[in-house]
Amino acid sequence: MIEEKLLSAEEKAIFSLRTLFAKNDYKPYKMGKFEEYDFYVRNKDFLTSESVITFNDTNGKLMALKPDVTLSIIKNYKDEETDIKRVYYNENVYRISETTHAYKEIMQSGLECFGNIFLKEKIEVLMLALESLSLIAGGKNFVLEVSNIGIIQKLLESFDNTEAVYKCISQKAVHELDTICPSDLAAKLKKLVSINCKPEPAIERLAEICPNAFELAELTIIAEVINKSKFKDNVVFNFSIVSSMKYYNSLLFRGCIEGLSDAILSGGQYDKLFNKLGKKGGAIGFAVYLDLISELSRPKEVSKVVNVALPKGRLGDKVYEVFKKAGYPCPEIEEDSRKLIFENLEVGIRFFWVKPSDVAIYVERGAADIGVAGKDIILEYKPNVYELLDLGLGKCRMCVAAPKGFVDDETKTLRVATKFANTAMDYYTSIGRSIDIIKLKGSIEIAPILDLSDVIVDIVETGTTLKENDLEIKEVINDVSARLISNKANFNFKTDEILRIVSLLKEQIKND
């Protein structure tokens, strides 16, 4: 008998989850640490990152350390006469962390249900996801967000630019939908994305958008089951949860625990992937990211005060004025002081000043619930956050500029000087142009003059600096302005407070 005090939090969670899964007739599944690299290349869209750790085996074959468990289980699953196969696992995967952008070993525990699955099995898996969250939360508040990607797929059946729409939906960036979709489709999608509430009211709102959808009938039954369970206060329907249309076809869900800056559980129904790999029937499952459990033991204040990261400088001053007029004043912030943190507990707000390029980091990591970042920062660093509102402040454009009369010689590699290396690379990749990135910290405009580069990619506000250096705009990559962003996990636990801020800010912007 192992003494409990000798076990780490992760080990305790593994034993608890293993017991839970086994009690529900799930059988243990063990697999190797690597697969052929080609297998992951063929299914790269299913992976959270295309980057995998590779090596050559003794026969010279290119192998990869597992970046995913589900793919390996499906590959080795054999169709049998039994209707349903249930398995659970405890495995390590190796992938690039979304926050550190470095390779990381991630401990996972999870389950998969294969075969002739119907609504009964889907509900079974959802309830086990809730039980899993309850076990590892240790008394802390937790939420399971549930969506059905089939609804979005049906709305987008006759629309081509689905990738851009999916990006807007996943970020709750409803203000961008009007520029991408026809007005009637944008209106429906806005209503859908705005649903972020308990199952019963969510079903009522969903019925107005897709009254005859099979998915609505299925979600209605799920809502009824949840409402009768002990977890009725732990579930929200949130239709901004999306994933690859190539692989997922129905339920998607994500589990968060208060105090963690990211989801600790994710899952969904992936019949398309199951069938693509030559298997019959359907499949649904979820994974628990055990590496996040250690974060739960760190002391962290839990309160309904909304933490707001503001960018230092002129933009931050303008943003604070909007907050102040909207009903969130903090008189202390206006005093001549070196302080960086200010709060007004009467209105439930805490502001802190940070470097503009760091706002997204504070929000993504959960130190701030919401923050204001320029669209240029969001495009460059791609933080995993919600983009709730375009404040319309600090308007400018991300542009390609070059000396007057410059003609691009497409037989040569284009030299691009910029502070925004990722944005530049994304843009030129989208048009199939080979480039050499020259990353600079400042004085970008002189790079073409001194023949360091052919063109530059930079923020342009008035264009005066370009003109004074004999440069002109060649292409506009994106319009830029200040955006209100939110941590996705924290949003679940301060939903009403954050949405109230969004509503009041929106009204104030309209009145200014």
Residue 360 half-sphere exposure toward CB, CA atoms < 13 A? 20
- pLDDT of residue 5 exceeding 90, the answer is no
pLDDT of residue 306: 97
Q: What type of residue is 379?
A: L
The answer to whether residues 287 and 264 touch, using CB atoms and an 8 Å cutoff, is no
Q: What confidence score (pLDDT) does residue 301 get? A: 67
Topology of domain 4-296 in CATH is BirA Bifunctional Protein; domain 2 (3.30.930)
Q: How far is CA 303 from CA 306, 349, 496, in A?
A: 8, 11, 13
Surface-to-core class of residue 329, CB atoms within 10 Å of its CB (0-12 exposed, 13-18 middle, 19+ buried): middle
Question: Of the given ranges (44-53, 150-159, 228-237, 440-449), which has the lowest mean pLDDT?
Answer: 44-53
CA gap 456, 353 in Å, rounded: 30
pLDDT digits (tens, 9 = 90+) for 384-437: 999 999 999 999 999 999 999 999 999 999 999 999 999 999 999 999 999 999
Residue 380 has pLDDT above 60, yes or no: yes
Overall CATH class of domain 306-394+482-511: alpha beta
Question: Do 306-394+482-511 and 396-480 fold alike per CATH?
Answer: yes
Mean pLDDT of 483-501: 97
pLDDT tens column, 79-117: 665 678 999 999 888 877 666 667 777 888 999 999 889
Mean pLDDT of 356-385: 95
pLDDT score, position 305: 94
Give the confidence band of 193 by pLDDT, cuts at 50, 70, 90: very high
Percent above pLDDT 90 for the chain: 65
Among the ranges given (19-23, 80-84, 205-209, 316-320), the one the predictor scored with the smallest mean pLDDT: 80-84
The pLDDT of residue 80: 66
Mean of per-residue pLDDT scores for the chain: 90
Domain 396-480 has CATH 3.40.190.10: yes
Q: What is the pLDDT of residues 153-174, one digit of tens each?
A: 888 888 877 888 999 999 999 9
Would you tell me how many other CB atoms lie within 10 Å of the CB of residue 466?
19
Identify which has the larger pLDDT, 7 or 280: 280
Q: What pLDDT was estimated at residue 206?
A: 94
**Which residue ranges make up each domain of the chain?**
4-296, 306-394+482-511, 396-480
> What six digits make up the tokens of 441?
């910290």
Sequence-distant (6+) residues with CB within 8 A of 467 are none
The alpha carbon of 383 is separated from its chain's Cα centroid by a whole number of angstroms, namely 8
Cβ distance 23 to 17 under 8 Å?
no
Q: From the CA atom positions of the chain, what is the Rg in Å?
A: 25
